[in-house]
Chain A
Amino acid sequence: MLSVVVFLPLVAAAALAVWRRPGPRAVARTWIAVSAADLLLVVWMWTRYRGGIAYETRARWIPSVGAGYHVGVDGLSLPLLAMTALLFLVCAVGSLRGTRRAGPYAALFLALETVCLGLFAALDLLLFFVFFDLSIVGMYFVIAGWGHGDHLRSALRFFLYTFLGSLALLLGFIGLYLGSRPRTFDMTDLTRNPPLADAPGTAALVLLAVAVGLAVKTPSFPFHTWLPPAHTDAPAAGSAILAGVMLKMGTYGFVRIAMPMLPGAWQRYAWVFVAVGVVGALYGALVALAQDDLKRLVAYTSVNHMGYVVLAVGAAGLVAGDARAGELAVSGAVTQMVSHGLVTGALFLLTGVLWDRVHDYDLGRLGGIAGRAPVFAGLTAVAAFASLGLPGLSGFIAEFQIFAGVIGTGSPGAVAAGALAVIGVLITAALFLRVLHRAFLGPPGELTPRVTEMRPGELAAVTPLLAASLVIGLFPRWLLDVIEPAATAVVSLVSR
């Protein structure tokens, strides 16, 4: 069942690749139909989900090193799978018009969908790594083939930088494998029986390798420098996937791999993650505040939001802390992953609309857009408010849990870290209000006459994301009921 969900898009991609000269309409129809079918399957899986690890498949792959094809979903991965499927569907809808070489583009995105879904479903380290690495290759071709600006350079930097992270991750995985008894790459086995418990020095080095690999992908300060150029020069749908889905691969890895498999090392170095998280949150917000390029600005808010997630997972490792608070923080971190995927995906699609009209992101040359395109301005405002954490939208639910959890651990350092990170929210609020003020209100700018209202296709792409954010913001229980048991399990595993 889960394997069908994961590999259905890949099969469609292969069909598109061998199909001789399909028309753009046929490509779009196939792309949307397959993505929609995949989303429906995930929703159906969600309705039948009853806790624990479900839809599990376990087959031998490379038995000589104890690696298998092992997939399954639980409360951590199910929301991310649903978010991924939704985001890929709206990207398909949003790319209906004006895409060059639509056939290969659709095939590439469908293949990427398989890679992203597969990563969140994987329960084997080697399988996880396969998808982790392939996501880099897929996104490289998206940026290099369909980007704008200095996209070849950005794509190269993206590939080199994130590949460095992935090799670090691979070394870390090999360390986990060699440290386990009996040797295995299986995540459930490694979680049940954490490796390297009796070798703290090696465990610290392995955690370092894994953490560097995941931090590059997240990206955490100071490993974020690949992100702004990659986002700025990627096509809108590519940025939405990169920010919405691929950044989560890093943070998901922390919750799924680093915390439960190296609990001792995680506890010892939890402060490092807390510090990295706070610095990332503040630095991302401050640099975003200084941007005049709208897309770069959105990219830096991702650094800020991922900073909160790293802060939360770090705080959950503070042994002295209250377990309840730790659970709240992890639950907030997972909610933030989902929320950030929806909201930032929407923001990048909206900047894509802007690029389509004026081929520029410079805030200084825009102004008074609200007068010419009220719906566009309204949706951007909603997305901005969701991103800065306004109550009633999903960002608030996530950030409230994170701050409550971090401060609730009770240790003075964590309280200080939480208080500092709250300043990040203030800066984010300031910068989004500044964007609204400069680009959407006020006198018309030089490029404003070229801005036209959103087309139905674009509307159909952005609205579901913001609607989902609103639903989570108003009625979060259905989401939290799935996440909270998994968060409890992670915290009990990390405090072993």
Chain B
Amino acid sequence: MNENPLDLLPELLVLGGAVIGLLAGSFLPRDRRRAVAWICGAALAGGTAAAVAAAARPGGTVFGAYAIDPLTHVARVTVMLATLAVVVLAAGRARGHPREAEEHVLLLLAALGAVVLAAADDLLVLVAAYLLASIPAYALAGIAGDARGTEAALKYYLMGAFLGVLMLAGVTLLYGLAGSTAYPVLGGRLPAASGAAVACGVVALLAGVLFKVGGVPAHFWVPDVAEGAPAVAAAFVTTVPKVGGFVALARMAGEFLAASPVDWRLLAALVAAATMTLGNLAAFFQDNVRRLLGYSTVSQAGYLLLPVVAAGRGGLAEPALLFYVAAYAVTNLGAFAVAVAVGRDSLDDHAGLARRAPGVAVALAVCLLGFVGTPPTAVFAGKVLAFTAAWDAGYAWLAVVAAVNTVASVFYYLRWIAPAFRPGEAAVRIRSRTAARVACGAAAISVLLGVASGLLLPGLSRGAPP
């Protein structure tokens, strides 16, 4: 068994950054806590570099419970870069914010949880990662201490605690049936177990993961947190934990769900259809941009489930999921960065954005049209791959449902774009230059990822040389 701790270097760097950041934040005077942001940023940059370096080495399993493979590599890089962008967003606000240090440390810990969630090859590690990814996120949602943030955090916490217990019950049940919590062993023994019991265990297990990815019926926290939590925290919790959750789903699907006696594909397909449809319907008439984005992330979670449904059938599902999840992270961060830059949440407050800040308005259009899947943005490539993978796996009807939902989603994205580009007096102003830069950067990366998708995709397939 491989027990080399250096294989976990990216995770250790992030953990180290969080610990040092916490200590520094406790001892530094308030006006010098900007150093914590630098420490956390450096830890994430170092972690990313280590993850890229690790991708060039042969993979494997560490400690028998932690997989190092393309799924993990992509999850590490995506999570860490996305968190780095959120740290930059958070640092862009006024200096001397009373909880600046804590906020950065919580971001790092939650990001670490998301990475472990993605890499877990054992149900017990998965449960620990779930807690690590969730508990800092609850605190982040309520960190402002205002009424709306507290309500959002409470809702987030109650839902997470409930579904977490359910997930634990599922893990217990599956352990009882298979005698192990390791994915490969589960894959070997579940086919022989009783179908009904396995179905109960799988459903309970998926409940927890669905909570992390914000899928129906575990999505109720998403709009409230997106609207009520501080904008930066909202950007984080609607982006980063999803990356971990979806990669975890793909891993479970490939390693033991495919072998289990339940028709989990149909279950996942129904959940996907419900998620995208309900998310879209609820987003239609939202007048608050963050709530609108919250529902949009729910519908995006539905599309992201398409390659999960197809996991293990055809070679496209895994690259499709990995590419789409990275594309989604970039696009979602870009859209939230525009909301942070403007600093006002009503759709009307964005009127005339194109006149006041053309660059930010173009970034907004690129990100929102990117969500729709307009080429040549990254989500376009992700969507084409996801539709193709689903159809190839025999779920053409799901691809049709996703296409219809995509068209419907144009309506509410345009409700945001149209006022931004309307000529006339501009009441809007840019409150955070850093956030504006992050938004433009995200839009540029989204287009670049889309155009250069051909260069990246071969590296995402399992078995291909990294």
The interface bits of chain B over 73-99 (1 if a CB of A lies within 8 angstroms of the residue's CB, else 0) are 000000000000000000000000000
Do residues B374 and A64 form an inter-chain contact, with CB atoms below 8 A?
no
A63 touching B454, Cβ below 8 Å: yes
B411-427 CB contacts (< 8 Å) to partner A:
411, 414, 418, 421-423
Interface pair A174/B407, CB less than 8 Å apart: no
Establish whether residues B458 and A160, one from each chain, have CB atoms under 8 Å apart when the complex forms.
Answer: no
A464 to B177, CA, bound (A): 80
For A64, give the chain B residue with the smallest CB separation.
B457
Total count of chain B residues near the partner, CB < 8 A = 34
**A133-B374, A133-B375, A159-B410 in contact; A174/B454 too (CB < 8 A)?**
no
Given contacts A101-B423, A156-B418, A167-B407, contact A61 B454 (CB under 8 A): yes
CA–CA, A174 and B386, complex, Å: 11
A309 neighbours in B (Cβ, 8 Å): none
Q: How many Å lie between the Cα of A160 and that of B376 in the bound state?
A: 19
- Shortest distance from the beta carbon of B193 to any chain A beta carbon, whole Å: 35
Give every chain B residue within 8 A of A101 (Cβ-Cβ): 423
Q: Shortest Cβ distance from A3 into chain B, in angstroms?
A: 14
A-binding segment of B33-41, B132-140, B398-406? B398-406
The interface bits of chain A over 127-142 (1 if a CB of B lies within 8 angstroms of the residue's CB, else 0) are 0011001100100110
Identity of the chain B residue whose Cβ is nearest the Cβ of A175 in the assembled complex: B391
Output the least CB separation between B87 and chain A (Å).
Answer: 30
A177 in contact (CB, < 8 A): yes
Q: Are B391 and A178 in contact (CB under 8 A)?
A: yes
Q: Are B418's CB and A152's CB within 8 A?
A: yes
Determine if B23 is an interface residue (Cβ-Cβ < 8 Å): no
Whose C-beta in chain B lies nearest to the C-beta of A61? B454
Asked if B334 is at the interface of the complex by the 8 Å CB criterion, the answer is no
Which chain B residues lie closer than 8 Å to A174 at the CB level? 384, 387-388, 391, 399
> Would you call B21 an interface residue if the criterion is a C-beta within 8 Å of the partner chain's C-beta atoms?
no
Complex Cα distance, B391 from A488, in Å, reads 35
CB-defined contacts of A64 to chain B, threshold 8 Å:
316, 319, 454, 457-458, 461
CB of B454 within 8 A of CB of A137, answer no
Question: Is A171 positioned at the interface, with any CB of B under 8 Å from its CB?
Answer: yes
Provide the bound-state CA to CA distance between A141 and B385, in Å: 28
Given contacts A160-B410, A167-B406, A171-B399, contact A65 B316 (CB under 8 A): yes
Chain B residues, CB < 8 A from A159: 410, 414
Q: Is A168 an interface residue (CB 8 A)?
A: yes
Bound form: Cα–Cα A152–B399 in Å: 30
Bound Cα distance A306, B90 (Å) = 55
Q: Establish whether residues A170 and B421, one from each chain, have CB atoms under 8 Å apart when the complex forms.
A: no
Query: Interface code B357-385, partner A: CB below 8 Å = 1, 0 otherwise?
Result: 00000000000010010111000110011
Q: Is B288 positioned at the interface, with any CB of A under 8 Å from its CB?
A: no
In this assembly, does B345 line the interface, its C-beta being within 8 Å of a C-beta of chain A? no
CB of B369 within 8 A of CB of A160, answer no
A156, B387: Cα distance in complex, Å: 25
Interface size on A, residues (CB 8 A): 34
Contact B375 A134 (CB under 8 A): yes
**Residues from 147 to 167 in A contacting B, C-beta threshold 8 Å:** 152, 155-156, 159-160, 163-164, 167
B319 to chain A, nearest CB (A): 7
**Residues of A55-70 contacting chain B, CB below 8 A:** 60-65, 67
Instruction: Evaluate contact between B423 and A145: CB separation under 8 angstroms.
Output: yes
A205 to chain B, nearest CB (A): 8
* B385 contacts A65, C-beta separation under 8 Å: yes
Q: Is A86 an interface residue (CB 8 A)?
A: no
CB distance from A144 to the nearest CB of B (A): 6
Secondary structure of the A side of the interface?
Answer: helix
CB of A98, distance to nearest CB on chain B (Å): 15
Q: Which residue of B lies closest to A169 (CB)?
A: B403
B392 within 8 A of partner (CB)? yes
Residue contact B384 to A170, C-beta cutoff 8 Å: yes
Shortest B402–chain A CB gap in Å is: 9
CB atoms of B392 and A178 under 8 A apart: yes
* Residues of chain A contacted by B391 (CB below 8 angstroms): 174-175, 178
List A contacts of B423 (CB < 8 A): 100-101, 145
> Which B residues lie within 8 Å of A247 (CB)?
none
A174 to B418, CA, bound (A): 31
Q: Does A276 contact B (CB under 8 A)?
A: no
Contact B387 A129 (CB under 8 A): no
Do residues A171 and B400 form an inter-chain contact, with CB atoms below 8 A? yes
- Interface centre among B399, B406, B414, by most A CB within 10 Å? B414
Task: Give, as a whole number of angstroms, the nearest-CB distance from A155 to chain B.
Answer: 8
A130 interface neighbour in B375, B400, B454, B461, Cβ under 8 Å: B375
List residues of chain A with CB within 8 A of the CB of B346. Answer: none
CB pair A62 B454 closer than 8 Å: yes
- Bound complex: CA A63 to CA B372 (Å): 24
Instruction: Tell me, in angstroms, the Cα distance from A19 to B353 when the chains sit together.
Output: 19
B453 contacts partner chain A, Cβ-Cβ < 8 Å: yes
Is B403 in contact with A170, judged by CB distance below 8 angstroms?
yes
Within 8 A of A (CB), among B30-55: none
- In the complex, whether A366 has a CB less than 8 A from a CB of chain B is no
In angstroms, Cα B406 to Cα A164, docked, is 9
Which residues of B are found within 8 Å of A168, using beta-carbon distances? 403
- Measured CA separation A82–B402 after assembly (Å): 38
The residue of chain B having its C-beta at the shortest distance from the C-beta of A160 within the complex is B410
CB atoms of B421 and A163 under 8 A apart: no
Once the chains bind, are B457 and A62 in contact (CB under 8 Å)? yes
Q: B residues within 8 A CB of A164?
A: 404, 407
* Distance in angstroms between the alpha carbons of A177 and B375 in the assembled complex: 18
Q: Give me 9 other A-B pairs in contact (C-beta within 8 A), A144-B421, A159-B410 excluded.
A: A61-B454, A62-B453, A64-B454, A65-B316, A65-B388, A129-B375, A164-B407, A167-B404, A174-B387
Q: What are 24 A-B pairs with beta-carbon distances under 8 A?
A: A62-B454, A62-B457, A63-B457, A64-B319, A64-B458, A64-B461, A126-B384, A129-B375, A130-B375, A130-B376, A133-B374, A134-B375, A144-B421, A156-B411, A156-B414, A163-B407, A164-B404, A167-B407, A168-B403, A171-B387, A174-B388, A174-B399, A177-B388, A178-B392
Residues of B whose CB lies within 8 Å of any CB of A are: 316, 319, 369, 372, 374-376, 380-381, 384-385, 387-388, 391-392, 396, 399-400, 403-404, 406-407, 410-411, 414, 418, 421-423, 453-454, 457-458, 461
